[in-house]
Amino acid sequence: MSSTTDNTTTDDDATDARPRELLQAANVKKHFPLNEGLIDRLLGDDRVVRAVDGVDLTVHAGETVGIVGESGSGKSTLGRTLSRLYEPTDGSVVFDGQHIETHSGRELRPIRRRIQYVFQDPMSALNPRKTVGQSVARPLEVHDIASGDEKWKRVADLFEEVGLGPSQLDAYPHELSGGQRQRVGLCRALVTEPDLVVFDEPVSALDVTLQAQILNLINRLQREFDLSYLLISHNLNVVRQVCDRIAVMYAGEIVERGATADIFENPQHPYTRSLLDAIPQIDGDGTRADRKGLDGEPPSATNPPSGCRFHPRCPEFIDGSCPGQKPSLQDVEGDAGHEAACHWLDRSEAERAAHTPPSTTEREVIRSESADD
């Protein structure tokens, strides 16, 4: 008897095969008033710090998305805004099909259970007057998930899951090491059985050995609990180890995004290239070879540069289009899902390779002419 296999795929099957979009952000902005005093308001001083200034981002179920950039790029503010620790100034945030950008109070309560945040410094997130066991157990009470013996069993099971012993349930935060406190932070995030965990520099305060342990633990927990992650870090080696996709932020905007391999192997934005060039390397004799860092300082978030916000520091500055026109995210040829916001994407690779950036004096003339236009 012979049999045939129907390889026809229906539209419904194709839809079901795609990863579910768990979090969708569209044109998200978070601006902070620079002056809030009575005199400033009377004088009409409405300047703002544009910490996040129009970000689109998607996190699919089961994946890890990394947000990278220098200090002040807006990555932590973005994480707190998407998890609704901050209220967005503008834009939409959709979590599992539900708009949450305008939620507050009681409406946010079920969302807070499903989106958890792990802070950079677990010491600051733990009550020094309570044992770490009490701190981890508290969300179970707040969300009416468990109480009594069941509550403590859940906490003890999680402690064991992350490599902490039963005796540490009664320890106070100051009695634990940095690595142990970070494990407690993981327990506190996982205890409500969330769908999405936002990590803000989860290993930046740890030595290299402990970093590897925590990152391996984060990876294992994702598989075991079917979690989605948004991981914020300035350390490109960290995001390379754990992230499926990466978004590169500069001055409140995403300037490049794509699969991790594409970002590392085929970076298109000069800022991304500069970040990668600054990663320390180990020479053949085992000595550390420091790489050249990026010159200059990040721009003012109150008065960002015109055009491409990176142009005052850009080592690949082209011409008047850089300060005169703001580039939009465009597809990178040959890399599915890879986008960059750079005027070089409108030009050939040969032209880019042969280009000699203008001198500092020439740049000032170009900027001045661009401003006059």
> Which string of DSSP letters, residue by residue, matches 125-160?
HS-TTS-HHHHHHHHHHHTT---HHHHHHHHHHHHH
List phi, psi (to 5°) of 360. Answer: -60, -45
Q: What is each CA distance from 102 to 52, 53, 67, in whole angstroms?
A: 17, 18, 24
Task: State the burial class of residue 98 (Cβ atoms within 10 Å of its Cβ: 0-12, 13-18, 19+).
Answer: exposed
Buried b (16+ CB within 10 A) or exposed e, 181-220: bbbbbbbbbbbbebbbbbbbbbbebbeeebbebbbebbee
Per-residue pLDDT tens listing for the chain (373 residues): 433 344 444 444 444 556 799 999 999 999 998 876 655 556 556 689 999 999 999 999 999 999 999 999 999 999 999 999 999 999 999 999 999 999 988 899 999 999 999 988 878 888 999 999 999 999 999 999 998 999 999 999 999 999 999 999 999 999 999 899 999 999 999 999 999 999 999 988 788 888 999 999 999 999 999 999 999 999 999 999 999 999 999 999 999 999 999 999 999 999 999 999 988 776 555 555 556 678 888 999 999 999 999 999 999 999 999 999 999 999 999 899 999 999 999 999 899 999 999 998 999 999 888 887 6
pTM score, whole prediction: 0.88
Domains of the chain, earliest start first? 20-260 (3.40.50.300), 267-372 (no CATH)
CB atoms within 10 A of CB 153: 11
The full length of the chain comes to 373
Q: Of the candidates 113, 126, 227, which has an alpha carbon nearest to the alpha carbon of residue 183?
A: 126
Q: Give the position of tokens 């391996």.
A: 216
Q: What is each CA distance from 258 to 32, 36, 247, in whole angstroms?
A: 29, 39, 7
Q: CA 318, 309, 199, 182 torsion: positive or negative?
A: positive
* CB of 123 closer than 8 Å to CB of 181: yes
Beta bridge partners of 68: 233, 248
3-state secondary structure of 77: helix
C-alpha gyration radius of the chain: 23
